Amino acid sequence: PPRRYKRGTRPLRTILRLHTGLTMPLTSPSRSVLLWDMDGTLIDSSEGILGCVRLAVQDMGLPPVPEERIREFIGPPLQHSFHHLCGLPEAEAQRATDIYRAHYAAEGIRRARVYDGLFAVLEQSAAMGVRHAVATNKKQDAAEEVCRIFGLDRFIHVVRGNNTEGCRKKSDMMLECLREFGAKREHALMIGDSSFDSRGAEEAGIDFLAALYGFGFQSPDDLAGTAHIGIVRSPEEVMAFLKHA
């Protein structure tokens, strides 16, 4: 016959299995907050971003960005990329950014996909008590819209993005997320795919987990001199890291 439990004595593992369909370890992970970069970590947004970069460059009357360098637009603030990759002065880099954003809002934002396995990581870790936030160089309203369009807002309840000028520090965004949750730095983990993410985490005093499946870091060699506590080659490996950290 099925085993019966007195009220309030049913094991936690059984409760989690009955209410979520998941079998979890009894212990919670030491990281109670995961801070995610967006482009190249949560979503593969390359088609939309690069398509809109090409349109903005065309509208500005500039020569095409070499294909071997155009992916460098993914991750950093757009003003930075238009300045360094297209040689535009500050005012013109801002104008190119504004043109890009108009194209992105009209068509580019939906030309993306959530990485395979990512939703399972969010669901399983949330069932273990982990809270999720986004810290991204994408503009605040665009980052919130991406979460809504792709259903990420089911698990991600705090989003901190950049301003119109693209001058916010990523470390400040991360610390704002922690304040929103009332969480300590030592209980948080930043996950990202670029040096902007790792540098921001270091400045904020938050441990960094490097994602090699995105657009920035492509191999462990790219992490030389970068402060990080581990690497993951797929979203599924984030879950394995949490369970054994």
Q: How confident is the model at residue 199 (pLDDT cuts 50, 70, 90)?
A: very high
Distance CA 65, CA 51 (A): 12
Top-confidence residue, 30 or 187 = 187
According to the model, what pLDDT value does residue 16 have? 34
Distance CA 159, CA 130 (A): 16
According to the model, what pLDDT value does residue 239 have? 92
According to the model, what pLDDT value does residue 166 have? 80
Q: What is the CA radius of gyration of the chain?
A: 20
Distance CA 169, CA 154 (A): 26
Averaged pLDDT of the chain? 88
According to the model, what pLDDT value does residue 58 have? 97
User: Would you state the structure tokens that stand for residue 129, as one six-digit string?
Assistant: 């008590």
According to the model, what pLDDT value does residue 29 have? 66
Whether 135 has a pLDDT exceeding 90, the answer reads: yes
According to the model, what pLDDT value does residue 41 have? 97
Per residue in 4-50, pLDDT tens?
433 333 333 333 333 333 333 334 568 999 999 999 999 999 999 99
Distance CA 229, CA 231 (A): 7
According to the model, what pLDDT value does residue 180 have? 97
pLDDT > 70: what percent of the chain? 88
Per residue in 153-186, pLDDT tens?
999 999 999 998 888 999 999 999 999 999 999 9
Distance CA 135, CA 170 (A): 7
Per residue in 51-64, pLDDT tens?
999 999 999 999 99
pTM of the model: 0.82
According to the model, what pLDDT value does residue 220 have? 94
